[in-house]
């Protein structure tokens, strides 16, 4: 990510032909990479050996180094749905997904940016125009290109999404009901033809992912604990979740009641960002479950 961002900043300086500025820029970049603060900041892909108690060899050239999970966290919805398809899930049943967006605040304008990208990337939208599902794309607000996680055929843009958002009284949160029909996206294991209903929960709360020192732990403990309690205690949110996961009265259209309270529904909770665990841990109704 550093390399990609730095290259974007360096390019216009290089085009100006200003040698002095270019040397100064390269010097500052070198200082970033030479900072001891970043030593061992990345986690080697051999961490499982360490976790099992075995002595892990030093990371080699063929090992992955992970600094942040956004490239897997952010498209986690597509990854989860793909896992259900790969594992032989029934595509004739409607899948219900509770999708959380642990953002700071929702944009006041309707121009595509990082927040809109989190949702629009799953649909046919302006941010993936002329990009085949699974092909590389560089949508607005993202730091590097990555493979398009579009999994629905339906069109959606920022205006449509904003019109669907409903605020939750007494909180910063909003929710929306989204619907889509899956399309083939082999990169994520998605197969075409499944109906998917999504309860989108947008927190609009200042959740940091940079609690890495004792001072920051002390600073954020009370605010985050208070935020978590407010989410867990919100009766309107709980009501909307219950209404969303309620089974249909007649699953197969034959006029009979379903054989079990949860028959006919595939319900999956998809995380959106790393901090989704904070929300799912306090909303027991949203715990990961798949109904037969």
Mapped onto helix, strand or coil, the DSSP state of residue 9 is: helix
Average pLDDT, the chain: 78
Residue 47: pLDDT band (50, 70, 90) is low
CA–CA dist 190, 152 (Å, integer): 10
CA–CA dist 53, 45 (Å, integer): 15
pLDDT of res. 271: 38
| Helices of type H across the chain | 2-16, 19-34, 47-51, 70-73, 76-86, 114-120, 158-164, 214-233, 235-245, 276-280
* Beta bridge partners of residue 238, listed in sequence order: none
CA–CA dist 46, 59 (Å, integer): 7
pLDDT greater at residue 183 or residue 36: 183
CB 270 within 8 A of CB 80: yes
CA–CA dist 118, 19 (Å, integer): 39
Q: Which two tokens stand for residue 271?
A: 């995380």
pLDDT exceeds 50 at position 129: yes
pLDDT exceeds 80 at position 110: no
pLDDT exceeds 80 at position 226: yes
* 3-class SS shares of the chain: helix, strand, coil, % to 5: 40, 15, 45
Give CA angle at 186 (149, 287), nearest 5°: 60
Global pTM exceeds 0.75: no
Which residue, chain included where needed, has tokens 């209404």?
243
CA–CA dist 183, 197 (Å, integer): 14
Residue 53: pLDDT band (50, 70, 90) is low
CA–CA dist 100, 276 (Å, integer): 7
Determine what percent of the chain is predicted with pLDDT higher than 90: 40
Mapped onto helix, strand or coil, the DSSP state of residue 128 is: helix
pLDDT greater at residue 1 or residue 261: 1
């Amino acid at each position: 990510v550093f390399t990609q961002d730095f290259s974007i900043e360096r390019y216009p300086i290089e085009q100006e032909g200003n040698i002095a500025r270019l040397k100064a820029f390269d010097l500052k970049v070198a200082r970033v990479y030479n900072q001891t603060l970043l030593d061992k900041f990345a986690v080697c892909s051999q961490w499982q050996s360490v976790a099992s108690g075995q002595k892990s060899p030093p990371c080699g050239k063929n090992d992955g180094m992970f600094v942040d999970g956004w490239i897997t966290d952010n498209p986690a919805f597509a990854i989860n749905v793909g896992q259900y398809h790969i594992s032989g899930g029934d595509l004739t049943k409607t899948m219900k997904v509770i999708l959380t967006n642990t953002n700071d605040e929702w944009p006041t304008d309707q121009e595509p940016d990082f927040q809109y990208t989190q949702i629009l990337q799953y649909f046919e939208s302006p941010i993936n125009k002329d990009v085949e599902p699974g092909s590389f794309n560089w949508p607005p607000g993202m730091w590097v290109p990555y493979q398009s996680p579009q999994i629905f055929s339906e069109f959606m843009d920022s205006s449509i999404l904003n019109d669907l958002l409903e605020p939750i009284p007494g909180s910063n949160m909003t929710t929306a009901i989204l619907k889509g029909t899956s399309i083939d996206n082999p990169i994520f294991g998605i197969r075409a033809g499944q109906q998917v209903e999504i309860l989108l929960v947008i927190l609009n709360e200042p959740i940091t992912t940079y609690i890495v020192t004792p001072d920051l732990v002390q600073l954020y403990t009370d605010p985050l604990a208070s935020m978590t309690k407010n989410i867990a205690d919100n009766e309107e949110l709980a009501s909307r979740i219950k209404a969303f996961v309620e089974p249909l009265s007649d699953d197969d259209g034959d006029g009979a009641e379903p054989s079990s309270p949860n028959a006919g529904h595939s319900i999956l909770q998809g995380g959106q960002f790393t901090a989704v665990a904070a929300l799912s841990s306090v909303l027991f109704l949203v715990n990961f479950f798949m109904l037969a």
